[in-house]
C-alpha cells in the first residue's frame, strides 16, 4: 500500500494524469503511458523503486530512485529540465518530516500530518 501511494504521488509530480494512465506488466516492472503521450517505467526491487520517463512535449527524460529503510524514504530525482534534488521523508509517530536539497545545495524542511498532502 505504501508503494502504491508513493508511485501515485510521484506520477502526479511529473504531471502525468494518473486516471488516464495505462500500465502493463507485473508489479516488479511496469511500462506506462498516459493520455498526453508520456511514457515511463516503474521498477521495484525489494525496498527500492526506480522510475524513469519521457516528456512527450519537450523530449526530455526524468528519473526518480527511492529506497525505504524502516520509517524513512530516501529520494534522488532528476527532472526533464536536468535539475536534480534529493529528499528524505521520515515518519515519526503521527507526522512526516520531509527534508529536501536541490542541486545548488539549498535545503528546506516541513512537517506534515500523516494524512496531509504535502
Q: Tell me the CATH number at 63.
A: 2.40.128
| Domain count along the chain | 1
pLDDT digits (tens, 9 = 90+) for 70-97: 999 999 999 888 889 999 999 988 899 9
Mean pLDDT calculated for residue range 64-71 = 96
* 107 is a domain residue: yes
Query: Is residue 52 within 8 Å of 13, Cβ to Cβ?
Result: no
Query: Is residue 24 within 8 Å of 39, Cβ to Cβ?
Result: no
Query: Is residue 56 within 8 Å of 38, Cβ to Cβ?
Result: yes
Q: What is the pLDDT, as a whole number, of residue 82?
A: 84
Domain around 66: 2-113
Mean pLDDT over all residues of the chain?
83
Output the pTM of the full model. 0.70
Assign residue 84 a region (left: φ > 0; alpha: ψ between -120 and 50; beta: otherwise): beta
Compute CA 55 distance to the chain's CA centroid, rounded to the nearest angstrom: 15
* 62 is a domain residue: yes
Query: Is residue 64 within 8 Å of 86, Cβ to Cβ?
Result: no
First CA to last CA across the chain, in angstroms? 18
* 118 is a domain residue: no
* 45 is a domain residue: yes
Only one residue has cell 525496498, namely: 47
* 88 is a domain residue: yes
* 37 is a domain residue: yes
What does the alpha-carbon distance between residue 82 and residue 69 come to, in Å, rounded to a whole number?
27
Cell numbers for 22 = 495505462
Amino acid at each position: 500500500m505504501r508503494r502504491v501511494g508513493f508511485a501515485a504521488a510521484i506520477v502526479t509530480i511529473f504531471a502525468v494524469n494518473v486516471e488516464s494512465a495505462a500500465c502493463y506488466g507485473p508489479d516488479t516492472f511496469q511500462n506506462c503511458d498516459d493520455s498526453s503521450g508520456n511514457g515511463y517505467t516503474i521498477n521495484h526491487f525489494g525496498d527500492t523503486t526506480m522510475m524513469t520517463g519521457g516528456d512527450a512535449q519537450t523530449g526530455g527524460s526524468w528519473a526518480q530512485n527511492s529506497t525505504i529503510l524502516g520509517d524513512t524514504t530516501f529520494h534522488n530525482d532528476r527532472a526533464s529540465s536536468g535539475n536534480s534534488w534529493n529528499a528524505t521523508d521520515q515518519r515519526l509517530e503521527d507526522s512526516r518530516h520531509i527534508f529536501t536539497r536541490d542541486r545548488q545545495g539549498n535545503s528546506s524542511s516541513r512537517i506534515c500530518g500523516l494524512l496531509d498532502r504535502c
